[in-house]
Structure 1
Amino acid sequence: MFLKLGKDRSNESYMTIVNALLLANVVIGFFGNEEGVLFAEMFRTNKLMVLEKNILNLGMLIISMQSFVWLKTHKHVPEFYILLLSTMLGMFFMISAGNLLMFYLGLELSTIPLAAAANFDLAKRRSSEAAMKLIFSSAFSSSLLLFGISLIYGTTGTLIFSQIPLHLGNNPLQIFAFILLLAGLAFKISVAPFHLWTADVYEGAPVAVTSFLSVVSKGAVLFVFVSVLYTVFKPLAGAWYNMLFILSLLTIIIGNLFAIRQDNFKRFLAFSSIAQVGFILVGISGSSTFGSASVVYFVLIYVFSNLAAFGVISLVSSITGNESISNYRGFYKTNPVLSWILTLALFSLAGVPPTAGFFGKFFLLFAGAGKGNYWFITIAALNMIISFYYYLRIVKAIFMDENDHPIPRVLIPLMPRLALYTCIAGVLAVGFISYIYDYIHSLSRGM
């Protein structure tokens, strides 16, 4: 018992230091940044990329603070941070890539440590299964990406982002290469029908890793996805608009329909995230400054909203082991604070005003309407009504359903409490502080 307490205190001290360093990293990240290119345009940076990286840094800090209860008794705390920070490094390389080869290396560096992190609960078989499924799906998507990159190089003679558009046209081989690249990236962000790995990996991985996959990993790929479409493959905009049109509606509908059927909270949020990606594709399809700004703005909102939900689930799972939605019946009677936090997070994910999620989806639909395809926007908007059902179903269970054995009262330590309050502040404030969207929009003009 004494050794266990000593280990807990050691882990707590370690995590306190790491969280302080992560907070310093978020703060320092906004100062002293310069724009430019290095190594023959293999690495580039600008103010928008710096903001995107800082959004990911913020997500990493919140996840670290929320993982306090789970990690304080774990044997491998340093290894957990090494894996996630290695993944973050790969994401930063990927965001700043100015070369397809550099982009691919960053993508792989961000994927391989994450697969190891998915297997971090070594004693649980489903954690190992999650890691294997993530590895297999990543290997398949990487092969598609490499094949597409090789065809792009073969038809253009260059891998540099700024040079590729000069050699693109209506060449069928180039369009086929783009389809391969699109399919590879679609696997990474769980676009239907490339989403089949998502729910199983989310369910099997530890909650902290699931949070990272859902928010930070997906956000990084979305940032790159927008940049690549709007700059590198801009000459093929007519072709990829039709592809996004089909993929976005398919993704929203499948995400919504499967989310209705879920009882495991992590699987539920997996299909919820798939539906959210569908709405993001609607914004991207607008192919405009508004599209780029709305995606970055929505990812920022998504960080706060999704991590607020995962923060509650992480606490409850770490202390009680409960991950089923049915177990949350009557949750308000024993945990009123956590109930309201979870409810606000679900409202934001559903797009209920006055939460920030409403403004995020409004700007995505507004950006998508830039092409004048109002049937497209109408179908997407109607799917928001479907999403209200499965989000409000959980709210009903929390506040209105009876439960003879509700989840017992969960004490909230300081670190997770600060993380949850930060998320709720973001959910309530980001939508009303218009400067945030205006600032992101001003940075997006330079794309």
Structure 2
Amino acid sequence: MDYSQFLVMRSEISLLVVFLLIFFVDTFGGNKSLKGLSITACVLFALHTIWNIIPVESASAFGGMYQTSPIASMVKTVLNIGTFIVLLQSISWSNTPDVKVRRGEFYELLLVTLFGMYLMVSSGHFLLFFIGLETASLPMAALIAITKKDSESYEAGAKYLFTAVFSSALFLLGLSFLYGVSGSLYFDDIAINIAGNHTPLFIATLVFVLAGMGFKLSLVPFHLWTADVYEGAPTQVTSYLSVISKGSAAFALLLVLYKVFAFEPAVWQGIMWALIVLTITVGNLFAIRQKNLKRFLAFSSISQAGYIMLGIIAGSIQGTTALVYYVLVYIFSNLAAFGVISSIEHNSGKVNMDDYNGLYKTNPKLSVIMMLAMFSLAGIPPFAGFFSKFFIFASAIHSGFYILVLIALLNTIISLYYYLLVVKAMFINTENECVIAPFRSDNGSRVSLIVCVAGILLLGIASCVYGYFADLSALGL
């Protein structure tokens, strides 16, 4: 074996180095080192992000099993940015008495899941893709159940684990059919061998593959685990699951559909059409009924997954660009909301929407940040969320999906209503005294919220970001 091939995996090796350093500090460090483990993890991961911020050129290794491209490299950078924000928001929480004993495990498991997402994004073979999928999924169950004394956390971890197992089984069943149809597990070989093959076995293959990935993305009707897991998991884990895991799974699905089923777009686009309509509509309607803000954002994330899928169904370079841009904006917007929820929960234990009544009187800065996050998620101009929705709608319209975009636009009206419910609670429902007393957030949370607000305000103005993504997408997957 030519071990120089490992050099192609620059991001993966860099992340592995960070993981090992944190592992050694956690295992062999003294009390002083362990107290500073949270800061150490943030600094090391920041260096990893900076080291890999410049996209690599297209390359392959291990007989084509591992393939990378500039846009895939940029997706990893986007995931790194979101993970770094989550790490900042986790500093105070990871030092609480119930969590600090397992603080090292939290960072190690989180980095392992990110490593699996890297493998999914750079796969050229379904064996490596599945290894990445499981590496990203199974440690997540341990993260969800990491708060040992919380029964809801255990319940959420068990639900996620069973869901991950069943979805992986469906995905593997689809892969077995795919191998039977094509005789290969290489993406490029499968695309050539199944061209024009519309047998029932091929259709079954596509359905099972989409079902397996649908669980990871919380697409309707594979979404039933989402609200319970989001509510039961620690808020920091929920925020990571809602944006980083969803963003990587979205690009991985795009990779599979564009590379493996490239010659049969009409078949999978029909299925995706129905999934998108169901996902956006059901997510929006159920979000209206939620009072717990973590469940509220769970159904919001289901709806957002439907919007992200518009970039995939477009089947074009424009769709790829819009998807990556949407995920970046979604990371800043959603993590801003979760950052506020995390700070309030950590200082007051309140997570219900009614508890936010009159929040502007006691915590005006957090109220404004939450308002900006809600406006961006709803797609209100001039915030970044408006431009991300505009580009993702434009990509679908450019590919001829006029009715689908019309349905999505009508659903944005529903989403605007329930996002404004949060704003109404904070700024208008001021009859009674707010149950959340004034407090000062920790330094990590403040820095993360500043970064998120900057992203929400500047990404819509900085058109060079979208143009840069377009240039990278034009170089191919």
- TM-score norm. by structure 1 comes to 0.96
Query: 185-194 vs 168-177, which deviates more?
Result: 168-177
Give the equivalent residue in structure 2 for 1:68: 91
Residue 360 (structure 2) pairs with residue 329 (structure 1): no
Shift of residue 291, structure 1, vs aligned partner:
0.8
Counterparts of 1:229-268 in structure 2, within 5 Å, are 229-268=257-296
| Pairing partner for 1:436 from 450, 465, 468 | 465
Q: Measure, in 2, the Cα distance between the counterparts of 1:12 and 1:222.
A: 36
Contact 1:11 1:72 in 2 (8 A): no
Q: What is the SS of the residue equivalent to 1:431?
A: coil
Query: 32-41 vs 397-406, which deviates more?
Result: 32-41
Q: Measure, in 1, the Cα distance between the counterparts of 2:315 and 2:265.
A: 8
Q: Measure, in 1, the Cα distance between the counterparts of 2:386 and 2:169.
A: 37
Q: What is the SS of the residue equivalent to 2:45?
A: helix
Aligned-residue CA RMSD in angstroms? 1.4
CA deviation profile, 1:301-338 (whole Å, cap 9, x unmatched): 00100000000111111111111111000000010110
Q: Measure, in 2, the Cα distance between the counterparts of 1:356 and 1:8.
A: 43
Q: What is the SS of the residue equivalent to 1:163?
A: helix
Residue 327 (structure 2) pairs with residue 299 (structure 1): yes
Give the equivalent residue in structure 1 for 2:435: 406
Residue 138 (structure 2) pairs with residue 131 (structure 1): no
Residue 141 (structure 2) pairs with residue 112 (structure 1): no
| Pairing partner for 1:78 from 104, 124, 133 | 104
Aligned residues: 441
Query: 400-409 vs 293-302, which deviates more?
Result: 400-409
Q: What is the SS of the residue equivalent to 1:235?
A: coil
Q: Measure, in 2, the Cα distance between the counterparts of 1:400 and 1:390.
A: 15
Give the equivalent residue in structure 2 for 1:144: 170
Paired AA for residue 323 in structure 2: V
Counterparts of 1:363-442 in structure 2, within 5 Å, are 363-402=391-430, 403-442=432-471
Contact 2:142 2:157 in 1 (8 A): yes
Counterparts of 1:32-71 in structure 2, within 5 Å, are 33-71=56-94
Paired AA for residue 72 in structure 1: N
Contact 2:276 2:306 in 1 (8 A): yes
Shift of residue 414, structure 1, vs aligned partner:
1.6
Q: What is the SS of the residue equivalent to 2:36?
A: helix
Give the equivalent residue in structure 2 for 1:356: 384
Contact 2:120 2:132 in 1 (8 A): yes
Structure 1 unaligned segments of length 5 or more: list them.
1-6
Query: 55-64 vs 362-371, which deviates more?
Result: 362-371
Residue 184 (structure 2) pairs with residue 158 (structure 1): yes
Shift of residue 272, structure 1, vs aligned partner:
0.2
Q: What is the SS of the residue equivalent to 1:319?
A: helix
Contact 2:55 2:73 in 1 (8 A): no
Contact 2:181 2:202 in 1 (8 A): yes
Contact 2:361 2:434 in 1 (8 A): no
Shift of residue 346, structure 1, vs aligned partner:
0.6
Paired AA for residue 25 in structure 1: H
Give the equivalent residue in structure 2 for 1:280: 308
Contact 1:11 1:71 in 2 (8 A): no
| Pairing partner for 1:341 from 359, 362, 369 | 369
Q: Measure, in 1, the Cα distance between the counterparts of 2:472 and 2:246.
A: 21
Q: What is the SS of the residue equivalent to 1:44?
A: strand
Shift of residue 12, structure 1, vs aligned partner:
4.9
Structure 2 unaligned segments of length 5 or more: list them.
1-29
Paired AA for residue 91 in structure 2: F
Q: Measure, in 1, the Cα distance between the counterparts of 2:83 and 2:35.
A: 17
Contact 1:41 1:98 in 2 (8 A): yes
Give the equivalent residue in structure 1 for 2:206: 178
- TM-score norm. by structure 2 comes to 0.90
Contact 1:284 1:367 in 2 (8 A): no
Paired AA for residue 248 in structure 1: I
Paired AA for residue 376 in structure 1: L
Q: Measure, in 1, the Cα distance between the counterparts of 2:364 and 2:388.
A: 27
Q: Measure, in 1, the Cα distance between the counterparts of 2:448 and 2:472.
A: 28
Q: CA, structure 1 residues 428+11, in 2 after alignment: closer, same or farther (shift >3 Å)?
A: farther
Q: Measure, in 2, the Cα distance between the counterparts of 1:302 and 1:9.
A: 37
Identity rate, percent: 44
Shift of residue 370, structure 1, vs aligned partner:
2.2
Q: Measure, in 2, the Cα distance between the counterparts of 1:224 and 1:338.
A: 34
CA deviation profile, 1:78-115 (whole Å, cap 9, x unmatched): 11001100111111111111101110011001111110
